Amino acid sequence: TTAAPWWTSAVVYQVYPRSFADSNGDGIGDLRGIASKLDHLERLGVDVIWLSPVYASPQDDAGYDISDYQAIDPSFGTLEDFDALLADVHARGMKLVMDLVVNHTSDEHPWFIESRSSVDSPKRDWYWWRPARPHMEAGAPGAEPTNWGSFFSGPAWDLDELTGEYYLHLFSRKQPDLNWENPQVRAAIYSMMRWWLDRGVDGFRMDVINFISKDVRADGSLPDGIVHDGALYGDGQPHYGCGPRIHEYLQEMNREVFAGRESAPLTVGEMPGVTVEEAVLFTDPARAEVDMVFQFEHVGLDHGANKFDVHPLRLTDLKASFGRWQAGLAESGWNSLYWDNHDQPRIVSRFGDDGEHRELSATMLATVLHLHRGTPYIYQGEELGMTNAHFESIDSYRDIETLNYFAEAIAHGHATQDDLLESLRVMSRDNARTPVQWDDGPHAGFTTGQPWIAVNPNSSEINAAAQHDDPGSVFHFYRRLIELRHTEPAVALGDFTMLMADDEAVYAFVRRLAGTELLVVGNFTDREQLVVLPAAEIWADAELVLGNYPDAGSVDIARPWEARVFRRL
């Protein structure tokens, strides 16, 4: 057998640049701001930094709408700032992974400007241009080429008056989808990727990469989607999620971009809707596609008809889901592990308790996640136990998904304003986008100016400065979890067995590698719970490796939000 790849024992930290640290007082986080906080990340002990997009962008979707893949947006700095940051990251023994957003560009990208200019443009076919539905007039209600809805409300097609044709945008109208069927598009993207790797970056997180192959028919048309109960649009996802050529494209990308590079770059594909069976194919090393995928099953368990229709989590559903992913990728392939990112609400507010038991529940959630088999991702502020924003008014929100959803729901009379605001407080992406809380000073030390989005008023209590000096803090607990992955091979490579699968309160599992066994127990409630293990006696004298209470307690009782990791040899 060959040695395990380096990323099996690595921990990745996601930086959302706009909200991380502002160096020049314009209220927007930037590259120099990130550089100024590398001590924090080095101290935490993470191996890799993933940067959300810093490319030139009109910022319609906070940088996920790119107008130049080979330039830095002025609000974030310059290419020189980027090179300096990269050098500093490397000097500290860390790696830097870029976001790669190539399902779509900005409508202000020169490729789209050219494509839009005429039906005869040499780049016309770089995007998805289609006429109105047969026998319908362009612009008439329902005349869009398909009935698909966009992720950010409204139809997924926009009529361009200049040529009378529609273009496809799965996200905002300022994010037209690229046509990967066109080999010139693929070649241009691969060459851009090589340019960044040659500059020294260590890999890519690939935005909605399983959406790039659309289910196009021989005559060029695209199929309508089913209209689910109560939905305004058809569900196009079966026609673009993990489409017919997706594996071919990723294998080609691998050959053209990654093959033969000395320092095996990290590749992680963000893949909404991906199944375990598909993930096995995407991450089987023998197929050379991506190292791991971000799947969405566990962050959809509290969704109803849509993400803003919030349901309480059932712990047994969470265990069933993670259990299936652990088993499915046990033999070949690899999991990524995450609770949070810039699109998800804060985990301590979501599955924990962001009031009285904030620190206990944050550290319990971290323990359970990080002790699974897979590569853990920490989203900025998660290591401090940062909470949801709890905004009171729609005026506080900035995110396009949130604002469009609110406007559409109000326009269609789907809910009262109060109910809508309540669901935004639970699910809006802006919950994760408030500035990182560095200290208890003005604007939490994030900026000397006016922050682009409000700082959470709990920064007086929850902030990095206070936690750096407190060995009992959430920060130091994360530090110890990362250290454990680095020092205990069973954390990275052990196999996984779920215990107590039917229990609604306690999450328990065993990891096993050669002679080492780890037992992980997490209490998802604020009450004491019995821990009922098969062969409990074998754990009687096990060593407590990590716990979030000051004393060891007893193996068969879990205190409120308690987390413990035991080891026996």
* Catalytic (active-site) positions: 207, 270
534-553 residues in contact with ligand ISL (CB under 6 A) are none
Of 348, 317, 284, nearest to 478 (Cα)? 348
Counting Cβ atoms within 10 Å, is residue 57 exposed (0-12), middle (13-18) or buried (19+)? buried
Closer residue to ligand ISL in complex, CB, 405/446: 405
Q: Tell me if 12 sits within 8 A of 46, measured CB to CB.
A: yes
Q: Tell me the residue length of the chain.
A: 569
Q: Tell me if 243 sits within 8 A of 212, measured CB to CB.
A: yes
**Numbers of helices and strands, H then E, in the chain:** 16, 20
Question: From the list 28, 168, 274, 444, which residue makes contact with Ca ion (rule: CB under 5 A)?
Answer: 28
307 touches ligand ISL (CB under 6 A): yes
Provide Rg for the chain, Cα atoms: 24
Residues contacting residue 413 through CB under 8 Å, at least 6 positions apart: none
Q: What's the DSSP call for residue 490?
A: H
Question: From the list 8, 19, 30, 63, which residue makes contact with Ca ion (rule: CB under 5 A)?
Answer: 30
- Count of other CB atoms within 10 angstroms of residue 23: 19
The listed partner (ligand ISL, Ca ion, none) that binds 272, CB under 5 to 8 Å by sort, is ligand ISL
- Count of other CB atoms within 10 angstroms of residue 36: 17
Distance CA 336, CA 268 (A): 8
Which contacts qualify for 442-447: CB closer than 8 Å, 24 or more apart? 446/19, 446/21, 446/22, 446/29, 447/22, 447/25, 447/26, 447/27, 447/28, 447/29
Question: From the list 50, 171, 180, 233, which residue makes contact with ligand ISL (rule: CB under 6 A)?
Answer: 171
Question: From the list 5, 9, 24, 71, which residue makes contact with Ca ion (rule: CB under 5 A)?
Answer: 24
Of 407, 379, 397, nearest to 452 (Cα)? 397
Q: How far is residue 543 from each of residues 102, 136, 536, 556, measured CA to CA in Å?
A: 48, 72, 14, 14
65 touches Ca ion (CB under 5 A): no
Q: Tell me if 560 sits within 8 A of 523, measured CB to CB.
A: yes
SS3 of 460, please?
helix
399 touches ligand ISL (CB under 6 A): no
Residue 282: CB minimum distance to ligand ISL, A = 16
Counting Cβ atoms within 10 Å, is residue 410 exposed (0-12), middle (13-18) or buried (19+)? middle
78 touches Ca ion (CB under 5 A): no
Beta pairing partners, 497: 510
Residue 249: CB minimum distance to ligand ISL, A = 17
Write out the H or E segment, with its range, that includes residue 152.
Answer: none
37 touches ligand ISL (CB under 6 A): no
What is the DSSP secondary-structure string of 19-30? GT--SSSSSS--
419-438 residues in contact with ligand ISL (CB under 6 A) are 429
Matching residue, tokens 């998800």: 344
SS3 of 137, please?
coil
CA 126 vs. chain centroid, Å, equals 27
Closer residue to Ca ion in complex, CB, 157/452: 452
* Interacting span for Ca ion (CB under 5 A) from 27-35, 206-214, 244-252, 497-505: 27-35
61 touches ligand ISL (CB under 6 A): yes
Q: How far is residue 116 from each of residues 124, 346, 512, measured CA to CA in Å?
A: 7, 39, 57
Closer residue to ligand ISL in complex, CB, 64/258: 64
The listed partner (Ca ion, ligand ISL, none) that binds 151, CB under 5 to 8 Å by sort, is ligand ISL
The listed partner (ligand ISL, Ca ion, none) that binds 401, CB under 5 to 8 Å by sort, is ligand ISL
Question: From the list 49, 89, 100, 101, which residue makes contact with ligand ISL (rule: CB under 6 A)?
Answer: 101
- Count of other CB atoms within 10 angstroms of residue 134: 8
The listed partner (Ca ion, ligand ISL, none) that binds 490, CB under 5 to 8 Å by sort, is none
φ and ψ of 33, to 5 deg: -60, -45
Closer residue to Ca ion in complex, CB, 26/297: 26
Closer residue to Ca ion in complex, CB, 20/180: 20
The listed partner (ligand ISL, Ca ion, none) that binds 101, CB under 5 to 8 Å by sort, is ligand ISL
The listed partner (Ca ion, ligand ISL, none) that binds 30, CB under 5 to 8 Å by sort, is Ca ion
| Size, binding site for ligand ISL by CB under 6 A | 14
165 touches ligand ISL (CB under 6 A): no
* Interacting span for Ca ion (CB under 5 A) from 16-24, 249-257, 422-430, 487-495: 16-24
22 touches Ca ion (CB under 5 A): yes
Binding mask 265-304 for ligand ISL (x = CB under 6 A): -----x-x--------------------------------
Closer residue to ligand ISL in complex, CB, 30/61: 61
| Termini Cα distance of the chain | 24
Beta pairing partners, 558: 529
Residue 36: CB minimum distance to ligand ISL, A = 25
Residue 389: CB minimum distance to Ca ion, A = 20
Closer residue to ligand ISL in complex, CB, 151/204: 151
207 touches ligand ISL (CB under 6 A): yes
Closer residue to ligand ISL in complex, CB, 296/549: 296
Question: From the list 5, 9, 26, 36, which residue makes contact with Ca ion (rule: CB under 5 A)?
Answer: 26
Closer residue to ligand ISL in complex, CB, 163/431: 431
Residue 21: CB minimum distance to Ca ion, A = 9
Distance CA 215, CA 224 (A): 11
In the complex, the residues that contact ligand ISL under the rule CB under 6 A are 61, 64, 101, 151, 171, 207-208, 270, 272, 307, 342-343, 401, 429
In the complex, the residues that contact Ca ion under the rule CB under 5 A are 22, 24, 26, 28, 30
